[in-house]
Structure formats: structure tokens, C-alpha cells
A = this chain, B = another copy of it.
Amino acid sequence: MSAIKDDQQMYLGIDGGGSKCKAVLMSADLEILGQGLSGPANPLHGFEQATASIVDSARLALADAGMAGYPLQRLITGAGLAGMNLPGLLEQMLAWQNPFQQMYLTNDLLIACLGAHNGADGAVIVTGTGSCGFSSVDGQSLMLGGHGFPQGDIASGSWFGLQLVTKVLQSLDGLTAASCLNRQVLDTLACKDTIALVELVVGKPATFYAQLANLVFDAAEQGDAMALAIVKDGAGYLNNLARKLWQDKAPRLSLVGGLAVRLVPWLAKDVQQMLTAPVWPAEIGAVLYAQQQDARQEAASA
């Protein structure tokens, strides 16, 4: 059992995304007590699954803290979920009879931004399965990019994967130069030839393509021309996105998400110099959000 006093308020931070839900249990002074990881929690892809994943991750974080029996209704929770910028989806989540003492709900970009800048003003570019830019400066927030697969989310994992498959198909047809990626894509997907590859990829969603993104970076680092063209194209977009957020007077800018580490070396020098390492991950940003909202409510009711 933890050394937490029975009367001390604890906070739960939730980062709910398309492939997983992360939870962190923290004390009021931001000591990490436990963490939990569960399944998909994007309400756009299913309300039932998203809410179940949130509760699962919360229980796992409590168990990780050695507090398995602790009641959820004593936790103040901040949750940042994908899709909360869509009014209908936000309304549905707000109507959820959640098991917490209080749940402050916002979008996944704001908690990533709060986490990256320890609750202060700043901007983030998130590049995971999808991609998006976001800034929060002087109480004004700005969202740039995103827009979904395949028409948007440029330089995200799904975008890199789709570019890869598109270019490999042209190369396998002999219309462009050969690349080491041709064989690697076929092998990774266990396809014996072009026809098998085409049959496999028909109608596949963003999450499928995102799994292939690292192949592009591996090959680019080895100087493969096809990979270099894709990576430079994606990096060019992120350079534009970063400069635009910077012009918006963001005092800090962080690149976060699963692809961030691989992307940084390919960005323009002026953009690399804008970047600061994120202070905390998004789930801790969700705790900061809950504390900010809680303080605001207390001030309002005082």
C-alpha cells in the first residue's frame, strides 16, 4: 500500500488515442504513483470501447500504485481524447456517467501541449498515427493540419506508410528506380508479389499504414533514394507547420508522438532550433489540465 495519506487528493491523467489509452496516477504535488496502459480510446471509433479503455487504464494505474481497491469516485481526472473538437462527440462524452469524482474533458492536443510545456504557453506538433499542429498562447488555441487519412495528416505514420506503399508499387512495376524498400515492404507484410500486396492493402485504415513508417526512416538513414524523397517531402511539410506555429508567437515548440525522435534529424536547421524537448508526456498534461480546471472552479465558487 502506498504512503499516500487517506485524505490527500489524487489526480488521474488520461491520454486516449486511436490505438491505446495511457493513464497516470499522481499526487497533488505531481509525484507519479502509478501508470496504466489499455486499449483504444478514440470515441470516434467507438464510445463503448473508449469509455471501457479509460476505466481499465485507471484501474491498472491504481494497481500499479499498490492501491488496487481504491475507489475511482475519489479521483479527480483529466482526460484528453482524440475527436473532442467535434461537437457531437464531445457532447456524447460529457454525457457519460463516468465513475470519477470529477472528470475534466478536453482534446488530446491540449494535454500534449500542457504536458510538453509543464502547463505553460507553447505549441506542439504531434506525429503518431496521425499528425497535427496545436498552439495555446494567451488563452487562445490554434489547430493546424490534421484533417485525417488519406487527405490530411501529412508526415504522420499513416502518411509515411501510404507514401511508401504508393512508391513501392510504382517501383515494382518498373516505372521508377528499384529500392531496397520493395523487398522490405513485401517481406514485412508477408506478400510474395505485387498482386498479393495490392490485395492486402485494399481499404486498409490509417493504423495499418502507420505500422510501416519506420521502414522509411531506416532506409532513409541508409541513403535509399526512394526513402529520402518521402522523408524530405514529409519534413518539408513539418517545417512549414513549425514556422507557422512559431509565427503565432508560441514561446516554446515541441515535436511529440511516436515518430518525433525519427523526424527531428530531417527537419530544417531553423526548425530544429525552435524545438525544445517536451517536459512531460501527454497523460501528465492531462493531470495539469485537471488541476488547472479544478483551481478555476474553486476560485469561481469562492
Contacts and interface: CB of A to CB of B under 8 A. Distances in A.
A176 interface: yes
B166 A201 contact: no
Highest count of chain B CB atoms <10 Å: which of A146, A162, A202, A240: A202
Interface string A144-164: 111110111010000000100
A173 interface: yes
A93 interface: no
- Total copies of this chain within the assembly: 2
Given A44-B202, A195-B85, A198-B86, A154 B170 contact: yes
A175 B85 contact: no
Interface in A94-142: none
Interface in A219-246: 237, 240-241, 244
Interface residues on A, range: 20 to 34
B145 A165 contact: no
Contacts of A87: 195
15 contacts: A85-B195, A86-B195, A87-B195, A144-B174, A144-B175, A145-B173, A146-B198, A147-B198, A148-B198, A148-B201, A151-B201, A152-B169, A170-B237, A175-B240, A175-B241
Given A148-B202, A154-B170, 13 more contacts: A44-B202, A86-B198, A87-B195, A144-B173, A145-B173, A145-B175, A147-B194, A148-B201, A150-B150, A152-B169, A152-B198, A175-B240, A175-B241
The 9 A-B pairs with the shortest beta carbon distances in the complex, nearest first, are A150-B150, A175-B240, A151-B165, A147-B198, A147-B169, A144-B173, A151-B166, A152-B169, A151-B201
